[in-house]
Every structure is written in C-alpha cells, then in structure tokens.
Amino acid sequence: MTIRNHTTLKTFAWPTALAGTMALATLLMPAALPAAQSKSPTPQVTVAKVASPQIRIENFQFTPAAVTVPVGTTVTWTNDDGTLHTVTSTTKAFSSAGLDEGGVFSYTFTSPGTYSYFCKLHPHMTGTIVVQ
C-alpha cells in the first residue's frame, strides 16, 4: 500500500516505515519494563529427604519397583493387597514372613550395592533397592 504525501508528493512505503517502527519498539520495550519484570526468576528446587522410604505391595506388584537410597537407610514395605505376600532378597540378605493385608516389613541397608527382591508366593513380583 502506498500513500502520497500531499505537500511533497513523495511516495511513502508502509512496509519500510512499519519495519522501522517495530525495530525501535523492540529496542525500547525492555527499558520500559520495570526492573523486577525484566529479570528471569531463579528457580527454587526443593529436595525431599525421606527418613524411611515406603514401598507398597498392591495389585501384585511392588510400588515403586526401584528405589535408590543412601547407606544406613531403613526401607519399609506395606502390604496393601488382600493377599499374603513376602519380601525376599534374591541373595537371602533379608526375608520377611508372610505379610497379610496391612502387614509391614522393614530392613536397614548397611552396605552399598544393588539388592533385588521378590515375593516367594508370587515370583513374578520383583523389585530393586540400590544402596549408595
């Protein structure tokens, strides 16, 4: 689109003028914002420290199936199924008795390593504790 200036009869090109105006606005905009808005907020990260990780036995599985903990941590399993289950280390490092619904078993991991475990009554149920 072209508009003629009636006093000088020069042609005025809108796209060129618009581009110049946009460039100027882009340069001036950060200066017009308050200082608090022009800075990016620093994200705050909160890490939860769990004294005793909880593993639920539900729907014939351990939830979560894998947990990483520091040496000296006590892990607790709770049976939320209506069926009897066990928590048994594949290396026999620990083994619970049969846990009825609501039954609880805890074990303190004193050495680093990877500890795989399963339910003796339902061997397809497996889990892993990584101790660092």
Residue 122 lies in a domain: yes
Residue type, 57: I
Strand-strand pairing, 73-79 and 54-58: parallel
Q: Are 18 and 80 part of one and the same domain?
A: no
pLDDT along the chain (132 residues), means of 10: 46 46 47 50 46 90 97 97 97 97 97 98 98 96
Q: Are 88 and 30 part of one and the same domain?
A: no
CATH of the domain at 97: 2.60.40.420
Q: 24: which residues sit within 8 A by CB, 6+ positions away? A: none
Radius of gyration of the chain (CA): 33
Residue tagged 């209506």 (tokens) = 82
The SS3 assignment for 18 reads helix
Q: Are 62 and 29 part of one and the same domain?
A: no
Strand-strand pairing, 113-118 and 73-79: unpaired
The SS3 assignment for 24 reads helix
Tallying the residues shown for the chain, one arrives at: 132
Predicted confidence at residue 19, as pLDDT, reads 47
The domain containing residue 15 runs over which residues?
2-38
Count of structural domains within the chain: 2
pTM score of the predicted model: 0.62
Q: How far apart are CA 105 and CA 97, in angstroms?
A: 8
Predicted confidence at residue 52, as pLDDT, reads 74
